[in-house]
Chain A
Amino acid sequence: MTLVEAQPAGPAAPAGAVRRLAGALHRRPRLQLTLLLAAPLLWLAVLYLGSLTVLFVSAFWTTDSFTSEVVKVWSTDNFHELFTTPVYRQVVLRSIGVALAVTVLCVVIAFPVAFYTARVARPKWRPLLVVAILTPLWASYLVKVYAWRLILSEGGPADWLLKPLGLSGPGYGLPATVLTLTYLWLPYMILPVHTALEQLPDNLLDASADLGARPGRTFRSVVVPMVLPAVAAGSIFTFSLSLGDYITVQIVGGKTQLIGNLVYSNFELNLPMAAALGTVPVVVIVVYLLAMRRTGALSSL
């Protein structure tokens, strides 16, 4: 109905126009490609890279100490302060340490789990196991972190479990933060490793055995090299998600502060300083991505 109303000249003419347009696009594949990509590229360039640029540029501004308004005068004071204040250096190193620790723990836990779900469990159970690994992602981030706050509280489940061994839980602090972040991001590591192990051709393992390699040697020389790109891909998630986190550490981190907390605390009163601090994780992640590219992780994403 509406189509007919919108085309008073009759249906034939527009249909012809559409056909002509389709024909024109078909003859000019480059134009077709340009039109298709224009919107997403614009989004990427303007909104995504644009905001990063604004972030970086505003890091060179300063604020009025009374009104906290941003003063748009070029200065490198923020970066100077960033590099010369010991507490910033300390917090940056601590944040990178946490991100690395979470990544290593995730790899160590994810490998056996993924090996079981991809190769040991019966094939009919495998999809169910993958679903089970994914279920924690259905729950809210905050609910999970608060659950860990209760688990790790004084006299809580962690203390209760470790008591027979004469130990006590880690309490709130840096270990609790690493533990909770590991729990949160583990599925992002298990999934790529699971996929890689699943795709590992059986005949390679058979060939390795035929050539006299023991399981350990097969694992080192065949499995690990083939799964490594997947591990690297998973580590990009665990590393970058941990590096940017500032909420988990507020809930279970005790008095610990990470780079995200510094950005957050400067956000209201000193936006340029927050921007300068915000560029640190961006730079770290870019370096990390470049390092991971060498492993071929980016092509297997």
Chain B
Amino acid sequence: MRPIRTLQVAAAAAVLLAATACGSSGSGSSAGGLNPPDLKEPTKLGKTEGEVNLIAWAGYVEDGSNDPKVDWVSDFEQQTGCQVHSKTAASSDEMVKLMKTGEYDAVSASGDASLRLIASGDAAPVNTDLVPNYKDIFSGLKNGAWNSVKGQMYGIPHGRGANLLMYNTEKVSPAPTSWSAVFDDAGTYKGHVTAYDSPIYIADAALYLKATKPELKIKDPYALDQKQFDAAVALLKKQNADIGEYWSDYLKEVSAFKSGDSVVGTTWQVIASLAADEGAKVNAIVPKEGSTGWSDTWMVSAKAKHPNCAYKWLDWIVSPKVNAQVAEYFGEAPANSKACAETSDKNFCTVYHAADESYWKKIAFWNTPIEQCLDGRTDVKCVPYTKWVQAWTEIKG
């Protein structure tokens, strides 16, 4: 997710995770009346161009310079002859800006960036037949609202993760099964509740209201009209009184759960695993209302100067072995179904629910709220993301 950048990042690992967080993605809703520019997908690949320029989240394009043992770029360069130049972006907005320069061939876009790239014509449709490994991608990641328009894929899915409810098993009893633990019942653990520090967290409140307040008729937590939005904001303002701290840095959340400063709140699987490894008594679940989540997609620029090398990269990064490596390094569920056989920790895919499609059905993947309601309503205007940002400031007070 979004917030970690520059100075606040104490360790390279923190950057990595922060960026992950930024790697949000779209929900399963249909993208209203999105009419992207008419661009043609390539029908066949030509000779590789000798180099490729990538924009990626930290940890997605590792050539061994951060950690000699973490390297899936060198083999790619040897096998394809495509020299990789990668630029690490800190946010979806930076990715969009960089893609507009036309100097890059491919990007690991999150759902909130991908829709914008498709709409503005910066991302080209992708011919999945030219990416042999695409056939092994989990079906739940194909034709999502955040990576396709009207059945046309605009990229190759990379991986995904859910925003879970984590609690301290010693201090929180009975064990929570609902998000009410951080909303209506948050007062029980006043001052020890934590939440993710980003405007997109408003969708978590909307998801809870969708289940508990049917009269609001929320269909998609990323498509909120003014009334639904106000209800979600009011819920979060109430929650603010019980919040101990908001987190955006994963190290911060690990330390808060270890010390007991936080006992219940949202988390990612990688944080839950790390906290448990470091001795915190925690458990992380998908509550009965479901969860929000994120998913990233490798997209090709419409102005790519090295499209053939870009397609080679798309195929390489989702090939079973590499996809397993990057998923384990980053802490997310891999996109390739065959990656699970390649992970160094044989339990990895089980922990991250990589193959469990019924699990992912409960996840509303991050998407960028726009005025055009993403759930298809045309009689109202939805609240756009810039308003979410303002509201988030007001919620925190």
Contact = CB atoms under 8 A, between A and B. Distances in A.
Asked if chains A and B come from one complex, the reply is yes
Interface in B27-56: none
Contacts of B165: none
A87 B392 CA distance: 11
Interface size class of A (residues with CB under 8 A): 35 or more
A67 B116 contact: yes
A295 interface: no
Interface string B376-397: 0000000011110100111011
A171 B384 contact: no
B389 A270 contact: yes
A268 B94 contact: yes
Contacts, number: 90
Given A66-B370, A87-B394, A149 B8 contact: no
A153 B386 contact: no
A65 B10 CA distance: 32
B357 interface: no
B93 A247 contact: no
Contact of B8 (A85, A90, A154, A250): A250
Contacts of B10: 142-143, 146
A262 B390 CA distance: 10
Main secondary structure of the interface of A (DSSP, over half): loop
B240 interface: yes
The secondary-structure label for the interface of chain B is: helix
Contacts of A14: none
A268 B91 contact: yes
A155 interface: yes
Given A68-B93, A255-B396, A269-B389, A155 B244 contact: no
B243 interface: yes
Contacts of B119: 66
Contact of B259 (A141, A155, A257, A264): A155
Q: Name the interface size band of chain B.
A: 35 or more
A171 B371 contact: no
A8 B392 CA distance: 71
Contacts of B91: 268
A253 to B, nearest CB: 8
B180 to A, nearest CB: 20
Contacts of A264: 3
Interface string B108-143: 000000001001100000000000000000000000
A298 B132 CA distance: 69
B202 interface: no
Given A254-B243, A265-B3, 11 more contacts: A65-B371, A66-B119, A149-B255, A150-B259, A153-B259, A153-B260, A171-B244, A171-B261, A250-B8, A262-B393, A270-B389
Q: A-B pairs with the 9 shortest C-beta distances?
A: A153-B259, A254-B245, A268-B93, A154-B260, A87-B394, A65-B384, A142-B10, A154-B261, A65-B386
Interface of B: 2-3, 7-8, 10, 91, 93-94, 96, 116, 119-120, 191, 240, 243-246, 248-249, 252, 255-256, 259-261, 370-371, 384-387, 389, 392-394, 396-397
